[in-house]
Amino acid sequence: MRCPYCQSEDTQVKDSRPAEDGASIRRRRSCNACGERFTTFERVQLREIVVAKSDGRKEAFDREKLARSIRLAVRKRPVNEEQVERIVSSIQRRLESEGGEETSSRAIGEIVMKRLRELDPVAYVRFASVYQNFSEPRDFQAFLGSLDIP
């Protein structure tokens, strides 16, 4: 594993433990060249996931890109990083196990919206506003009007 600080490949694992309910392994590492410590996560990848974008482009599934978009939606909400990681891991496992050669970005967005709706209604609306490309206040009104709010 290359050191993120000095780029040396001479690193050593100091501690390993299960993470994310056993779905990954968290490793504490130390660089023998510069002495810095850092953490890595090792996850099982069942297959490569190709995402078909709405404009026709295809790209490899990017776990961090998905996590960033969810973190943005839950920013300043009572949602912790562990909950975000659980959502991202469950979505990735679902996509890997479904088979198929590719998955549409729309399908991924729908899964995220469903998970956020269960987790935090404000994060759900935030994500929907970007995902569904709201451009005017009435887009929010129409969306909120369609929700079953007690």
Q: Which two tokens stand for residue 43?
A: 């996850």
Tell me the pLDDT tens digit for each residue of 65-76.
999 999 999 999
The per-residue pLDDT for 136 is 85
Question: What's the pLDDT tens digit per position in 5-56?
Answer: 999 999 999 999 988 667 778 999 999 999 999 999 887 766 788 999 989 9
Question: For residue 108, which of 135, 123, 90 has the smallest C-alpha distance?
Answer: 90
